[in-house]
Structure 1
Amino acid sequence: MMVFAIILVSSCALIAGALWGIYRPPSARVEGFVVAMAGGALIVSAIAELLEPAAQSTGLWGLLFVFGLGATVFTAIDTWIEKTVGEESGGGLLAAIVLDGIPENLALGVVLITAEPATVLALAGSIFLSNLPEAAGGARAMAENGFSKLKTLGLWSATAAILSLAAIAGNLLLSPIQQSPLALIQSFAAGAVIASLATEVFPKAYREDNQLAGVAVALGVAIAFTLHQIGG
């Protein structure tokens, strides 16, 4: 039951964010601050909930290779989206969130296999904080580009469903496999998350709220670190 509750909470952030962006768009500074805070939390989650557990089950060099591969694959896909769709359109941001969110939610499903509740809460909370303002900004951009409110909400709801399925798949399909392959999947997901922070989250946060972006990142790190310490 906890599995589905956590997945529901993290995925519903997309729908809540879309409603926020459609009916009461956040200011650029508020959006930037929340995005930066989420990015700080995801740094801790990627290391503490993905890389550290993976290091206990596989060799360091293999882990680092797959970690780098995850970052490279995400960067290649993100670059393709930017060149072919254009992320400022809203639709491009939607596609980026799907591609970013799939490894994130696979990772969430994997973490749910063995992690303590506070550890799961840290990763789920980080994903929630990340998805909420991104969906708000994307929905706002789509509305500005002529999408109807109903179509915009429908697209973001479908995205939430896809990412929920990814988390469920991560939890149900990956739980029976050996620890070493599972560790490599965790490493790949961590690389994709870190690459998304460098190319998407932090640049956006700085553009929108450069004066407080650093403070927001530190706050996100502090929140996630605290949850991790409690869970540990």
Structure 2
Amino acid sequence: MLTAVYFGLAASSALVIGALVGARWDAPKRLTGVLLAFASGALISALAFELFEESFHLGGAVRAGLGLLAGAATFVAVDTLLDRYVSGKSGPDEREMMASGARKGVGLALLAAVTLDGVPENLALGVSLVSGASLSLLVAIFFSNLPESLVGAVAMRNGGMSPRTVVMTWVACAVLLAAAVVLGRATASGMSEDILSVALAFAGGAVLASLADTLMPEAFEHGRPLNAFATAAGFFLSFVLAA
């Protein structure tokens, strides 16, 4: 269990680092886009060669496939409800609003989105620890948290929040997501192989949906033309760590 605590703190530390930087500095959008592209490639590799491969090995194609689809569907449903709650209507999302001028509400919306993305990612990290330390998934989550918290912190600061309040808000988010790793590890430790297979695939499906919905569109919008190379580099590093 101590390993889960260490992994949770390491993964969530990127949120604090990003907030500390964003509370004082306006990072170029291309930089954050490239970092998100790198994180996308790393997450794809970690999902394919750790989470889903292990799920397939433990439970077979049917359990793994159903778990993957269920995880993706759950993320889409919750994310849609969150978007409607934050915006109050089905209009532009927080990323489009940010393009017309960063406001405090936009930063808080991005904080909520990061939390939603981070919960399945960190639960997946905790579940994966049952079958061995998932270093590649840890690296992928770290590099996805960093640019998202950085952009969110900039939006909050430009919206009038003090740097101290910005940092403390993201620290609270980091604590929550670190706890998700411990929860995932504790929950998965008593599961049978069949149930663990579904849990791994479910977590993987939720993370995959967050990739398609959040990380990769943002990387494509702001990281071109370097986003393709950054994605490949992230995939390669994650693969090497998983090998």
* TM-score, with structure 2 as normaliser: 0.89
Report how far residue 148 of structure 1 moved.
2.1
Mean Cα deviation higher: 56-65 or 66-75: 56-65
Q: Identify the range of structure 1 (220-229 vs 142-151) with the bigger mean alpha-carbon deviation.
A: 142-151
Among 91, 110, 126, the residue aligned to 2:108: 91
- Match for 1:100 among 113, 117, 120? 117
- Aligned counterparts of 1:36 and 1:163: Cα–Cα separation in 2: 21
| Among 128, 131, 136, the residue aligned to 1:111 | 128
Q: Distance in 2 between matches of 1:214 and 1:77?
A: 29
Q: Within 5 Å, give how 1:43-122 maps onto structure 2.
A: 43-86=44-87, 87-88=94-95, 89-115=106-132, 117=133, 120-122=134-136
| TM-aligned CA deviation for residue 3 of structure 1 | 3.0
Any unmatched runs of 5+ in structure 2? 88-93, 96-105
Query: Counterpart of 1:148?
Result: 162
Aligned residue for 1:13?
A: 14
- 1:130, distance to aligned residue in structure 2 (A): 0.5
**Deviation per CA, 1:8-48, whole angstroms, max 9, x where unpaired?**
11111111111111112321111110110001000011111
Aligned length: 226
Q: Give the ranges of 4+ consecutive aligned residues of structure 1 lying more than 3 Å apart after TM superposition.
A: none
Q: Give the CA deviation at 1:7.
A: 1.7
Identity %: 38
Q: Which residue of structure 1 lines up, in the alignment, with residue 26 of structure 2?
A: 25
How far apart are the structure 1 equivalents of 2:236 and 2:26?
Answer: 27
Alpha-carbon distance in 2 for matches of 1:110, 1:95: 23
Question: Alpha-carbon deviation of 1:133?
Answer: 0.6
Q: CA deviation at 1:173?
A: 2.5
For residues 139 and 64 of structure 1, what CA distance do their matches in structure 2 show?
A: 37
Cα deviation for residue 176 of structure 1 reads 1.4
Do structure 1's residue 159 and structure 2's residue 173 form an aligned pair? yes
TM-score by length of structure 1 reads 0.93
Q: Using the alignment, how far apart are the partners of 2:3 and 2:159 within structure 1?
A: 39
Give the aligned partner of residue 218 of structure 2: 204
What stretches of structure 1 of length at least 5 have no aligned partner?
none
Letter in 2 for 1:205: A
Letter in 2 for 1:109: G
